[in-house]
Structure 1
Amino acid sequence: MATLWLFILIGATIYFFWLNRKIAESAQLHAKNQAEKLQVQLLDVACKRRRLGLLRTGKPGLKSTFIFDFSSDGESRYQAELEMEDIKLVNVAIPPHKI
């Protein structure tokens, strides 16, 4: 019985690692698309917060907030936020910046 629980624990760990990588790759892609839309240079993307919760669809899932830094003139650095539910982009908060 202990072996079964060990396999379940290992399987859950692998699944959540794979899901976190999938969400991080999706956030990177969404940040790149936002940077192209704004015509700015994408500097980096980082996870600010990740938690379990109910998604807008009513199903359980991971809610994440990612920060991406960008520059519009090569000297200034601005931070925008991406709010995601699993791999779906829910909201983008972009600060005022130079054009």
Structure 2
Amino acid sequence: MKTLWILLLCGGVIALFWYRRKVAETARLHAQRQAEQLGVQFVSVACKQWRLAILSNGKLGIRSRFMFEFSSDGETLYEGELWMENERLRKADIPPHRI
């Protein structure tokens, strides 16, 4: 019985890891789309915060915040934020930048 619980725990940790990777890839796509809409160069994206939470639809999921960097002139970097619930973009915060 102990072995079964260990296998279930390991399986859960592995599933959580893969799902977090899927959310991170989706965040990268959202950040690239934001950069395309703004007409700026996308540089990078990083997860700033994540946690398991009850989402706005009432289900358990991952609520995360991603920072992404972009450049409008090739020299200056700006940081935007993406708030996500699972793979869904809830809010994007884009700072003022030069065009």
State whether TM-score is above 0.5: yes
| Distance in 2 between residues matched to 1:14 and 1:54, nearest whole Å | 21
| Distance in 1 between residues matched to 2:97 and 2:52, nearest whole Å | 32
Q: Which residue of structure 2 aligns with residue 48 of structure 1?
A: 48
Q: Which residue of structure 2 aligns with residue 24 of structure 1?
A: 24
Unaligned runs of 5+ in 2: none
**Which TM-score applies when normalising by structure 2?**
0.98
Q: Which residue of structure 2 aligns with residue 87 of structure 1?
A: 87
The answer to whether residue 55 in structure 2 is matched with residue 58 in structure 1 is: no
| Distance in 1 between residues matched to 2:69 and 2:60, nearest whole Å | 29
Unaligned runs of 5+ in 1: none
Q: Which residue of structure 2 aligns with residue 67 of structure 1?
A: 67
Q: Structure 1 vs Structure 2: percent identity of aligned residues?
A: 54
| Distance in 2 between residues matched to 1:11 and 1:51, nearest whole Å | 19
Off by >4 Å, runs of 4+ in structure 1: none
Aligned length: 99
RMSD across aligned C-alpha pairs, in angstroms? 0.5
The answer to whether residue 41 in structure 2 is matched with residue 34 in structure 1 is: no
Q: Which residue of structure 1 aligns with residue 8 of structure 2?
A: 8
| Distance in 1 between residues matched to 2:9 and 2:52, nearest whole Å | 18
Q: Post-superposition shift, 1:94?
A: 0.3
Q: Post-superposition shift, 1:54?
A: 1.1
| Distance in 2 between residues matched to 1:54 and 1:9, nearest whole Å | 21
**Which TM-score applies when normalising by structure 1?**
0.98
